[in-house]
Chain A
């Protein structure tokens, strides 16, 4: 297992370092940019009510009458670029085994070793999760550095930020589990990545539409973003236990299904 983990780390540390740094820089940049937008946003809310609907849809929750500091802080965790970086990292890493290895033909040499497929799958998944945590750590550090630059009077407590981070980590696990399942079902990494992205983008759109369209609201529970609500955590300060458990369950169920599929499937590189 150690050999497998070292191999996976060898292949993924660069992308993890780049994405972790990107996440950190992004959070710092958002801390600098968003407060400048706050005053203009309040005016826009009053003059163009539609803007409020759009922002609510993007946030996945009603944002109220004004562009508050809480709303601003929620955007730090819900900005589409932040989500895209986290999802891209999870999907890129979790489609490496087996789809990526099959596609580049290296799985023959790997599976010729005396390793169970479960160990191969689990070893790579462990590296994926640890790398995901490193990327989320980048986001956390970014928010701390950003907070040092801009500290509003009613800024979020570190404990609240950690609760959001927990919810974000659970979202990462869910997306990683889904990506692993799709990877186990296909032999082409590009296809696996495409399907996994379609699932998370679909979830994002569903969450967006659910704020304004009743039929979408009825099925919004199907999307993973339904269980990621930083705005609620910031507003209440309560741990999102139900959401975290749901996301972890989605991730675990998908991961187990992927493992079973990988253990049973034929491996043909030709």
Chain B
């Protein structure tokens, strides 16, 4: 049973389309990244999954429960951190855990204490006296304290310093090892890349890619710099898989798609003084999705 399943999910606001026939399957027990630029439909999708909005057409379910009709059941299994987190100004971590524990019919104090210790958050400070980062930590604690089967996090790393980001990543990985599912929505690749094993890219309300990071990496371009022993050693013609952008005497600047094995094979027996190949540039791959978006919308 998938943690999340959406088929033809569409949300329209009058003539504007928020989500446009979105198909998505998030397997249970995965660390799933949901990537897209601002306004791509990520938050609208999440609101549909939580039953905060009703789909214009299509269907969405969480652990096989319909998100709109069985919203209460869905939310029992879900921990949610909103992208634009707002909390009650009077609330402290302690009172928040007590309040939401009562609403869930669960005692969250023990788990909550562990999480406040983990995130180093004073449980007695009210929200109105908290910094943005502290509020984000509290939001995460409240989302995770009831040990949900599915965590839906909308831009969870915003306002967190790099140390806390790394701590969060480690904690999410430990939840994943315990069989929990994490749905991690962000507009920045680096945040998703650090945590997730699979990613869906949403553009203008539609999924344009849905694959493992491994698979994406194999498609991503790499920057290559080849310095031949002399100008005479540099071939006249480059192989098809190598996209040479600049030739300067014996030095080539180029890009390759995917793995470097073909390049290494081609270079065998040639006189090469130096070779550098960058890691797969996922960022540029994602940017290419976004650039396509800008191109098609202009």
| Contact surface of A with B, Cβ cutoff 8 Å | 2-4, 6-7, 10-11, 104-106, 108-109, 111-116, 264, 266-270
Contacts and interface: CB of A to CB of B under 8 A. Distances in A.
Given A109-B85, A109-B86, A112-B75, 10 more contacts: A3-B101, A3-B102, A104-B86, A108-B85, A109-B87, A112-B143, A113-B104, A115-B103, A266-B52, A268-B52
B42 to A, nearest CB: 12
A6 B99 contact: yes
A268 B75 contact: no
12 contacts: A3-B101, A6-B99, A108-B80, A111-B75, A112-B75, A112-B78, A114-B75, A115-B103, A266-B52, A267-B47, A270-B43, A270-B84
Contacts of A114: 72-73, 75-76, 103-104
A3 B100 contact: yes
| Chain B contact patch, size range | 20 to 34
B123 interface: no
The 3 closest A-B pairs by CB, nearest first: A3-B102, A105-B86, A3-B103
B100 A111 contact: no
Contacts, number: 77
Given A108-B82, A109-B142, A6 B102 contact: yes
Nearest to A110: B103
Contact of B50 (A4, A11, A111): A111
Most buried by B among A6, A108, A270: A108
A264 B103 contact: no
A266 B56 CA distance: 11
B9 to A, nearest CB: 14
Contacts of B266: none
A3 B99 contact: yes
Interface string B224-258: 00000000000000000000000000000000000
B173 interface: no
B118 to A, nearest CB: 20
Contacts of A267: 47, 52-53
B87 A11 contact: no
